Amino acid sequence: MPYEPYSPTQKQREGHFVLVWLGAFISVMMLILMALGVSVKVEGFLALLAGTYMITFTVWHRYDDYFKDCAIQGARWTAVVVGIWLVIRALVSIFAMSRDFGAMVAGGEVEDISAATLLPFMDSAMLLAALCALAFHAGFLFTQFRGRS
């Protein structure tokens, strides 16, 4: 095994995994607080914590290969969530547009129904960010536990 002077110590490795669990807890709390409609200040504070955590997580590079593999899997899960979000948003927009077109062709009144009217929560960037954070941590922890079995 080659010598790597900047490889993390065992204590640093344990700290990395503790931070992942902390991030998972914060992302779950963000979703719960959003569902309960708790104060925007609390939600904003958790978003600040999660954002700072994600920036630090991305900028800091002293991770071992196993940790990086778990993070890559978490990033894949995040990309899937964003993809599903975009597909749902596109399908709802197509539905609203085709509904208007059908009413126009039939000679009826065209109601102005937009995708935001049909699914108002789809315009929430905060919800998308919380779902992405949760997906990242779920993918990371799934890979971590799958690797142990």
Q: Which residues contact 45 (CB under 8 A, 6 or more apart)?
A: none
Q: What pLDDT, in 10s, does the model give residues 81-97?
A: 999 999 988 888 888 77
In terms of pTM, does the model score above 0.75? yes
- Asked whether the predicted pLDDT for residue 59 surpasses 80, the reply is no
Q: CA-to-CA distance for 28 and 32, rounded, in angstroms?
A: 6
- Paired tokens of 148: 């142990």
pLDDT at site 94: 82
Tell me how far apart the alpha carbons of residues 56 and 41 are, in angstroms, rounded to a whole number. 22
Per domain, the residue ranges of the chain are 10-148
Q: Report whether 74 contacts 140 (CB < 8 A).
A: yes
Greatest Cα pair distance in the chain = 76
Q: Is 6 left (phi over 0), alpha (psi -120 to 50) or beta?
A: alpha
Mean pLDDT of 20-38: 84
The pLDDT value given to residue 104? 67
Residue 117 confidence class, pLDDT cut points 50, 70, 90: low
DSSP 3-state of 108? coil
Indicate the pLDDT class of residue 118, thresholds 50, 70 and 90.
Answer: low
